[in-house]
Amino acid sequence: MRESILTIPVNEIFEKKCGCPVCAMRDELEQHAVEYIMGAAMMEPDVRIETNKTGFCKEHFEQMRSCKNRLSLALMLQTHLQELQKNVFNDKGFFETKDSKNRKTTERVARIVNDCFVCNKIEWAFTRWLTNMFDLYRNEREFRELFREQEYLCLPHYRTLMRRSEEMDKGYKNEFRESCTELVKGYLNELEKDISHYCKMYDYRNTGKDADWGNSKDSIERAIKFLTTR
């Protein structure tokens, strides 16, 4: 798998100033990885060996299922299931006790259930992307401004950035973290207002054609996205 399809320029994502930039980066990586798996990866046995072992999480199976190429998905599933038969639920270990065999099988299953080829690629690319982002933040004043001008950070990615910013240079760490917190607080206040407005619209006094919903109509969806990234 070529590294270049997992390289997303930092500035390109931040210049959009639309939604959470980390969600935007993840969405783009996901799209590249899923398209690749459903297309070019068919020609690369190395990738198949890997996907046979890891499988995919529900979210990424769903994204693959919504692609047109269902044969690709079926072929991938075929060898993944065969791998399970051969290497997880096999009758190897002739001299082992039943107890130890069961334990080994359970351990292997636990690994597969928690594994996903696309999630792994995203995690790999994300670490590199963050290093570039922290470099930009340290070196460019314009980028620090651009960072502050983002629409918001979703809650899970706020946590990720706060955790990973531990490795940042001391000089910019606090400024970065304050910017992150401001982005969350500002959007949280906005969301809370919109959701409260939405609830108020169910009052009998607010029924009728010219009821003013303001920005509240999609506030449930926006609040869920803010809380869960999806």
Nearest to 188 by CA among 227, 149, 216: 227
Contact between 57 and Zn ion by CB under 5 A: the answer reads yes
Give the CA distances from residue 208 to residues 146, 197, 211, 218, in Å, rounded to whole numbers and listed in that order.
42, 16, 6, 19
Among the residue ranges 7-15, 49-57, 124-132, 191-199, the one whose residues contact Zn ion (CB under 5 A): 49-57
Contact between 29 and Zn ion by CB under 5 A: the answer reads no
Tell me how far, at minimum, the Cβ of 184 lies from Zn ion, in Å: 10
- Interface residue with Zn ion among 32, 80, 121, 157 (CB under 5 A) is 157
- CB nearer to Zn ion: pick between 110 and 211: 110
For residue 20, count CB atoms less than 10 angstroms from its CB and return exposed for 0-12, middle for 13-18, buried for 19 or more: buried
Contact between 154 and Zn ion by CB under 5 A: the answer reads yes
- CB nearer to Zn ion: pick between 22 and 29: 22
Nearest to 8 by CA among 121, 164, 154: 121
The sign of the torsion formed by the CA atoms of 132, 138, 141, 145 equals positive
Q: Which of residues 161-200 bind Zn ion (CB under 5 A)?
A: none
- CB nearer to Zn ion: pick between 153 and 168: 153
Contact between 6 and Zn ion by CB under 5 A: the answer reads no
Contact between 119 and Zn ion by CB under 5 A: the answer reads yes
CA 52 to CA 56: how far, in whole Å?
A: 9
Nearest to 86 by CA among 41, 39, 49, 38: 49
Write out the residues near Zn ion by the rule CB under 5 A: 20, 22-23, 57, 60, 116, 118-119, 154, 157, 229
